Amino acid sequence: MPAKEELLVEAYESFVEIDEKKVFNVIEKWIDSGYEIKDLLEKFAEALTEIGRRFEEKEYFLAQLVNSTLIFDKAYKLIAENMAEKAIEMKGKGTIVMATVRNDTHDLGKNIAASMLRIAGFNVIDIGKDKAASEIIDAAVDNEADIIAVSSMTSTTMRNLEELIGLLEEKEIRQNIKVIVSGALVTQEYADSIGADACARTATEAVEIAETFVS
């Protein structure tokens, strides 16, 4: 059986290199070894964060960034298929609607969190990026969501987080839905000031918070 730490190093390096074949090989070895899926997904999340940094520093091109997120989505599907074959039930813990707010097209972090939440057993409805508060709320109502998780990566779009919460209150459904906010400039203090339930700094934190909300 391959050592856990060796596989984690291999997982990180293969993902940063955006080598799909190696990534899938690591996943298969990981599942066969019986290690905790969450640990592998966290390592993939670290790798995607590094890829995002390289893109921001112009070390990677847009195509590489896009390919990395596509590989992550494929990795999730492969893991889910293997778990189904082994009759491991992915228990539904609740429904989460995810989006980036209006005028914000940065969705790498959201995509990573969405995949990790699915692996954790949540039903994730990802409606995409640059979404108005009304669209996000309509999706939450239509899907009977327990949680809304929204992100804003710029100072100019952060006010849309507050708008979302205000609209939930206006529609008198705020008490029925937990709201998780995130973003480069979003802090817990800011989350508290606008009436959000929590601030998630990482995809791992988003999973931990969501699990707390539905426990």
**For the chain, what are the domain ranges?**
4-85, 95-214
Classify strands 95-100 and 147-151 as parallel, antiparallel or unpaired: parallel
User: Three-state SS for 198?
Assistant: strand
Model pLDDT, residue 85? 66
Q: Tokens at residue 66, please?
A: 């896009």
The label of the residue with tokens 């893991």 reads: 79
Q: Which two tokens stand for residue 201?
A: 């700094």
Residue 8: both structure tokens together: 């984690």
Better-scored residue on pLDDT, 132 or 121 = 132
Shortest CA distance to 178 belongs to which of 203, 197, 164, 150?
197
Cα 145 from chain centroid? 16
**Which pLDDT value is given to residue 210?**
96
Residue 195 is given by DSSP the state T
In the chain, the percentage of residues whose pLDDT exceeds 70 is: 95
Quick check: 90 pLDDT over 60?
no
Asked whether the beta carbons of 178 and 146 are under 8 A apart, the reply is yes
Q: What is the pLDDT of residues 150-208, one digit of tens each?
A: 999 999 999 999 999 999 999 999 999 999 999 989 999 999 999 999 999 988 899 89
Return the CATH architecture of domain 4-85.
Orthogonal Bundle (1.10)
> Please, which residues have CB within 8 angstroms of residue 94's CB and are 6 or more apart in sequence?
122, 123, 146, 147, 210, 213, 214
For residues 147 and 14, give the distance between their C-alpha atoms in angstroms, rounded to a whole number: 33
Contact status, residue 111 vs residue 128, Cβ threshold 8 Å: no
Asked if 154 and 109 count as a contact pair (C-beta separation under 8 A), the reply is no
Q: What CATH class does 95-214 carry?
A: alpha beta
Mean pLDDT of 16-28: 95
**pTM greater than the 0.85 cutoff:** no
The helix/strand/coil state of 39 is helix
115 or 113, which is more confident: 113
pLDDT band at 87 (very low <50, low <70, confident <90, very high): low
Give the per-residue pLDDT at 149.
98
Question: How far apart are alpha carbons 112 and 33 in whole angstroms?
Answer: 24
Task: Say which amino acid occupies 47.
Answer: A
pLDDT in tens, 45-82: 788 878 888 887 899 998 998 898 889 888 878 877 77
Query: Tokens 């918070």 label which residue?
Result: 209
Question: What pLDDT score does 96 carry?
Answer: 98
CA distance 110 to 159: 18
Are 16 and 51 a contacting pair, CB within 8 Å? yes
pLDDT above 90: percentage of residues in the chain: 60
